[in-house]
């Protein structure tokens, strides 16, 4: 198994987990120390994604991971969150048992998960995925999001604490301001 970062062919297994469809292994490259995930599947079934322009391409976990990572960049999410989102999504996709799915279905599934995780990541992902033509479309998406949250806030349990979207004021070391 080649390291996706440096191409080195030897790695060690640092974690192994069984899911109902696969064995997931976290590996660490012996050359560059980068960590990556491999899956061993029961079935060699491949899943094809039908893109908006009608082209088909094989489902790529790495591609999906890359897209979500990008949307979650510098967001205060616990380590491994993106991988868990992708694990979950991938398992659900394979559970559908279809030979092909539309890219819009995958996009919707990602957005559904990001919506509950981080608003900024959600907006970033949707702006790429939905290819917002201008700011008014983006604003509309943001408005829809806040409306949906107002609607659900009383009915749903909050499983993930609200994420701070404003920058945290910096407190300089040794200069704690005391308020009178």
3 state SS for 99-161: CEEEHHHHHHHHHHHHHHHCHHHHHHHHHHHCCCCCHHHHHHHHHHHHHHHHHHHCCCCCCCC
Give the residue with the Cβ less far from Zn ion, 12 or 56: 12
Q: Does 85 bind Zn ion (CB under 5 A)?
A: no
30 belongs to the binding site for Zn ion (CB under 5 A): no
> What residues pair up with 84 in beta bridges, in sequence order?
none
Q: Which of residues 33-52 bind Zn ion (CB under 5 A)?
A: 34
| Shortest distance (Å) from residue 106 CB to Zn ion | 28
- Counting contacts by CB under 5 A, is residue 8 touching Zn ion? yes
- Among the listed ranges 24-32, 106-114, 148-156, 166-174, the one in contact with Zn ion (CB under 5 A) is 24-32
Tell me the closest approach of the beta carbon of residue 2 to Zn ion, in angstroms: 8
Q: Which of 24, 25, 27, 29 binds Zn ion (CB under 5 A)?
A: 29
> Which is nearer to Zn ion, 7 or 76 (by Cβ)?
7
Residue number with CB closer to Zn ion (3 or 93): 3
Reported residue count of the chain is 180
Contacts of 108 (CB under 8 A, 6+ apart): none
Binds Zn ion by CB under 5 A, chosen from 3, 49, 64, 111: 3
Q: Which residues contact 23 (CB under 8 A, 6 or more apart)?
A: 16, 17, 39, 40
Burial class (CB in 10 A: 0-12, 13-18, 19+), 159: exposed
Q: Provide the binding-site residues for Zn ion, judged by CB under 5 A.
A: 3, 5-6, 8, 29, 31-32, 34
């Amino acid at each position: 198994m080649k390291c996706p970062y440096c191409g080195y062919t030897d790695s060690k297994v640092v974690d192994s987990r069984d899911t109902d469809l696969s064995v997931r292994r976290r590996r660490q490259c012996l050359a560059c120390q980068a960590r990556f995930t491999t899956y061993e599947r029961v079935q060699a079934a491949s899943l094809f994604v039908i893109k908006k322009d009608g082209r088909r391409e094989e489902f790529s976990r790495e591609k999906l991971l890359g897209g979500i990572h990008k949307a979650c960049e510098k967001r205060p999410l616990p380590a491994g969150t993106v991988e868990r989102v992708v694990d979950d999504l991938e398992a659900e996709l394979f559970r559908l048992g279809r030979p092909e799915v539309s890219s819009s279905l995958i996009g919707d599934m990602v957005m559904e998960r990001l919506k509950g995780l981080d608003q900024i990541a959600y907006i970033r992902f949707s702006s790429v995925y939905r290819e917002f033509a201008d700011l008014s479309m983006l604003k509309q998406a943001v408005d829809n999001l806040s409306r949906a949250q107002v609607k659900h806030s009383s009915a749903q349990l909050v499983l993930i604490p609200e994420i701070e979207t404003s920058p945290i004021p910096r407190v300089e070391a040794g200069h704690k301001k005391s308020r009178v």
